[in-house]
Structure 1
Amino acid sequence: MFEFAPIAMAITTSDAATSSYVKVNDAYLKLTGRKWSDIRGKKLTTEGAAIDSPARDRRHRLLADEGAYVLEEVDIVHANGTEIPTLISAQRTVVNGVSFDVEVILDVSARVKLQREMDLALRKAAMTDALSGLPNRACFEEFMAHSISHAQTSNKQLRLAFIDLNGFKIINDTMGHAVGDEILKVVSQRLREKCRSTDFVARIGGDEFVALLETDPIGVNEHIELLKRIMERVFEPIGLDGRTINIGAAIGVALLDPSRDTPATLLKKADERMYFAKASGDRLRMEIAG
């Protein structure tokens, strides 16, 4: 029964310091990728599957004090070096005056993988703007902090473009929020398509977007011209339900000062330049911090 049980099982000696394999079943060998000839009589801490850690000592104390433990989370090591998450239950038994531990090991790697995928999906959802599909403000702030830290130790320049749509409230008020949502989707898609794959674009508010662009110190002027051309293409007239809608934007651009700027100060500089652009009254205007 032990040998052919579908669940991995192992019998080991009970001494915490010298615990070694006495017997394992086929399911255990399959789970760990080992051969019985390789682990027979070997100490768990040197040849065995369970990772040696303070948790091991705690489990041995449970066995010594209570005679058993149930569903303890333990990572074990496959013969190829990969870690396998498991749940282990064990009971201490005495045969002819000799103490042994009988372990039952459940492979929960599929469950753990699913949980990790769910966690990633939840994190992605928490970092994504539902309407546009772009990263949201929380994601942008996290990415900007990382980018600034990187720029402070590299020979790269970081520019932030703060983009606020012009006339969007009027569109919402006169054409309805459904049309406004479609406009936001089109602008988001164009920003995603027109910006470089290395640029980071996010929607951080109702009609507010940002683009974080990294460039070499040389060619900064060319980079500004490129940004202008991108914005001109993004804000070309939009055809929607037989109508042509001219949407513009006020764009403020700020250059990171690696020795002084934080994410908050860089965003503030770009925001201030955006308000200068907004004050011009132009349909599409870019103001660049000196």
Structure 2
Amino acid sequence: MFEFAPIAMAITTSDTKTSSYAKVNDAYLKLTGLKWENIRGKKLTSEGAAIDNPARDRRHRLLAEEGAYELEEVDIAYADGTIIPTLISAQRTVVDGVSFDVEVIVDVSARVRQQREIENALKTSARTDALSGLPNRACFDEVVADSVARSMLNDRKLALAFIDLNGFKAVNDTLGHAAGDEVLRTIASRLRESFRATDFIARIGGDEFVVLLDIDLKLAGDLQQNLQDAMERVFKPIALDGRLTYTGAAVGVTFLRPDDTPATFVRRADEYMYIAKTTEQRVAVVCFGQIMETGALPSRRTRRNETA
């Protein structure tokens, strides 16, 4: 029964320092990838599959003091070096005056993998806008902070486009929120199609999107026209229930400056976006605030009370 048990089992001698293999079953050999002829009588500290760590001594103390332990988390190394998470239970027994430890090892790698997949899914969900499928504000804040730090180390230029929709409130008011949601999904999809896979696109508010671009310095002069062309593609009319719906956008664009923080970088793009808003064009792109001197900018609260 021992040899053919479906669960990995091993019998070892009990001495902490000289503990060695006395017997293992086929399931143990399959789990560890070890060969019996290579481990027979060998010390666990030299040939054992369990990764040596301080917990090993604690497990031996439990066996010496209490005669058993249950469901201890132990990583074991497969013969090729692959790490396998397991749960090990053991009991000390005496046969003909000789003390042995009987170990039962359960492979929990599938459970651990499933748990990690769930954790990763939760992390992804926390960083993703459910409606558009784009990264959300929390994710954008992390990415822009990291990008600002890294951009100081290379010869490329970091640019940020802050996009605020024009005409979106009218869609919600006349066609309903379901239509508004479809407009947002369509715009998100078109943004993905219009920019490179290396560009970071996020929805950071109800009708606000951002695009973080890593620009070759030699091509920086073409950025405004390229963005204008991209926005014209993104904000083509959208067909909803047999009718065409027109939206547009005010886009503020800035390059990262040497003394910028993530906050000043984003705030400046937002301010330039408002300058684009004042042009009252359906699609307007303002780069680098060329007309900043035309007057003071109303506050974001004032802008949010507008119905554009």
* TM-score, normalised relative to structure 1: 0.94
Partner residue, 1:181? 181
Partner residue, 2:120? 120
Report matched runs for 1:6-17 at 5 Å.
Answer: 6-17=6-17
Post-superposition shift, 1:89? Answer: 0.4
Q: Does 1:86 align with 2:86?
A: yes
Q: Does 1:76 align with 2:76?
A: yes
Partner residue, 1:289? 288
Q: Which moved more, 1:100-109 or 1:11-20?
A: 11-20
Identity of aligned residues (%): 66
Please tell me the residue identity of whatever aligns with 2:41.
G
Partner-residue secondary structure (3-state), 2:272: helix
Partner-residue secondary structure (3-state), 1:120: helix
Taking the aligned partners of 1:151 and 1:267, their CA distance within structure 2 comes to 15
Deviations 1:12-41 (A, max 9, x none): 222333322121111100111110011112
Partner residue, 1:278? 277
Please tell me the residue identity of whatever aligns with 2:125.
A
Taking the aligned partners of 1:207 and 1:171, their CA distance within structure 2 comes to 12
Partner-residue secondary structure (3-state), 1:19: coil
Distance 1:16 1:151, change over 3 A: farther
Q: Does 1:152 align with 2:157?
A: no
Distance 1:17 1:149, change over 3 A: farther
Q: Does 1:237 align with 2:237?
A: yes
Deviations 1:203-226 (A, max 9, x none): 111000011110122211123322
Partner-residue secondary structure (3-state), 2:162: strand
Partner residue, 1:264? 263
Report matched runs for 1:1-290 at 5 Å.
Answer: 1-257=1-257, 259-289=258-288
> Can you give the 5+ residue segments of structure 2 that lack an aligned partner in the other structure?
290-308
Partner-residue secondary structure (3-state), 2:186: helix
Partner-residue secondary structure (3-state), 2:46: coil
Deviations 1:118-155 (A, max 9, x none): 22222222221111111111222222222223212222
> Would the aligned equivalents of 2:148 and 2:261 in 1 still touch at CA under 8 Å?
yes
Distance 1:19 1:265, change over 3 A: farther
Post-superposition shift, 1:62? Answer: 1.8
Taking the aligned partners of 1:104 and 1:261, their CA distance within structure 2 comes to 59
> Would the aligned equivalents of 2:228 and 2:284 in 1 still touch at CA under 8 Å?
no
Post-superposition shift, 1:64? Answer: 2.2
Post-superposition shift, 1:94? Answer: 2.7
Please tell me the residue identity of whatever aligns with 2:234.
V
Post-superposition shift, 1:198? Answer: 1.0
Taking the aligned partners of 2:218 and 2:16, their CA distance within structure 1 comes to 64
Distance 1:46 1:261, change over 3 A: farther
Distance 1:152 1:45, change over 3 A: farther
Q: Which moved more, 1:169-178 or 1:93-102?
A: 93-102
Distance 1:254 1:16, change over 3 A: farther
> Can you give the 5+ residue segments of structure 1 that lack an aligned partner in the other structure?
none
* TM-score, normalised relative to structure 2: 0.89
Q: Which moved more, 1:191-200 or 1:59-68?
A: 59-68
Taking the aligned partners of 2:63 and 2:224, their CA distance within structure 1 comes to 68
> Would the aligned equivalents of 2:224 and 2:286 in 1 still touch at CA under 8 Å?
no
Please tell me the residue identity of whatever aligns with 1:202.
A
Please tell me the residue identity of whatever aligns with 2:278.
A
Q: Which moved more, 1:132-141 or 1:68-77?
A: 132-141
Structure 1 vs Structure 2 CA RMSD: 1.5
Taking the aligned partners of 1:170 and 1:134, their CA distance within structure 2 comes to 23
Deviations 1:192-244 (A, max 9, x none): 11111111111111000011110122211123322221111111222222212
